[in-house]
Amino acid sequence: MEKRSWSLRVHRSEGECMRQRLIDEGLLNRSCRIRSEGEYLFIPVTRQVEGTTCEIFPGIPEQKELPRFEQVGGIAIMQDDDPKGAGEILASKASYHTVLYAESAVKGEFRTKSYKVLAGLNTTSTDYIEYGHHFTIDLSHAYFSARLSGERQRILRMMNEGERIIDMFAGVGPFAITLARKASLVFAGDLNPDAIILMIHNIHKNHSRNVVPLLADANHLPDIIPVPADRIIMNLPMQASPFLSAAFRMCRPGGTIHLYALVRSEDELLDLIHQYPVLKVETKFVRSYSPDQFHAVYDITRGDG
């Protein structure tokens, strides 16, 4: 069975990164199989976007439509409290061990949600693999989202070998452990003791020997970390701006601060950022969040002063 679909052509080396990005954006057309031609992959997408052409793909036989859910490792997270749908999701793939319903939005300083187990094992913990890195996560105890996996790879590509990194809101360590591959040293701080315990486990699991976990408020890091950093990660999108001053104190002139924020327009934080010594700012759309808000990242090059 063949099917016609909008398609993006990418070089093989960028295939996995693009596939992840399309999944994050809800654009991957799951009814068609990705096709290869020489050095290039043709990835089916659900609608016409910039750079797409119309192509023929091998079709994937129709499967029973499942309710909407997000997958993290062996856990499926549903948007509705739907035990029947949960049972169907659990039965659809052997690797799912638990189906959860998020009973709350992210809340509190630790940015966690509360969950109800709808089907499977009574746990909120799972193992998750991202680009060869292994993470143990526990969704009710420490924040984790797979949606920034593309960002972690983008920053890894931007880095020079031997950089010194500070991750101010490191959670269970996904940025810190990913970037440790190229860094000389990574300081990874978080306020949540459960996140730090999981991070230490993940450091061990990934044999990372250059990540320093710090149980600390991000605003105290300038008094704890003895050396300036080449690159700083600020992933606390709802309230990162009160910590900008600490980030500028820790970043060397010419270094980069990646500030993630929830905004309504790309220039929303530019006035605030320009109150600090800045050489250059580039803003990038990361993903949509609600009808009028999106996740943006400001890549800030620190100036002198």
Token pair of 282 as six digits: 């580039």
- Minimum CB distance to ligand SAM, residue 233 (Å): 7
Which residues, 95 to 124, sit near ligand SAM by CB under 6 A?
Answer: 109-111
CA distance 299 to 81: 38
Binder of ligand SAM out of 192, 202, 206, 283 (CB under 6 A): 192
Residue 75 engages ligand SAM in binding (rule: CB under 6 A)? no
What kind and span of H or E run contains 87? helix 83-92
Backbone angle region of 76, left / alpha / beta, with phi > 0 → left and psi within -120 to 50 → alpha: beta
Which amino acid appears at position 267 of this protein? Answer: D
55 near ligand SAM, judged by CB under 6 A? no
Which of 195, 199, 229, 286 lies at the binding interface for ligand SAM (CB under 6 A)?
195
Residue of 44, 120, 150, 189 interacting with ligand SAM (CB under 6 A): 189
d(CA 205, CA 212): 15
CB-based contact 73:126 (threshold 8 Å): yes
- Pick one of 42, 57, 69, 143: the residue that binds ligand SAM (CB under 6 A): 143
Task: Examine residue 136 and tell whether it contacts ligand SAM (CB under 6 A).
Answer: no
CB nearer to ligand SAM: pick between 89 and 148? 148
Decide: 170 and 188 in contact? Cβ < 8 Å: yes
- b/e per residue 26-64 (b: at least 16 CB within 10 A): ebbbeebebbeeeeebbbbbbeeeeebeebebeeeeeee
Site residues for ligand SAM, 1-40, by CB under 6 A, read none
82 binds ligand SAM (CB under 6 A): no
Site string for ligand SAM, 241-280 (x = CB under 6 A): ----------------------------------------
Q: How far apart are CA 136 and CA 205, in angstroms?
A: 9
Of 8 and 137, the one with the shorter C-beta distance to ligand SAM is: 137
Per CB under 6 A, residues contacting ligand SAM are 109-111, 142-145, 148, 169-171, 174-175, 189-192, 195, 217-218, 235-236
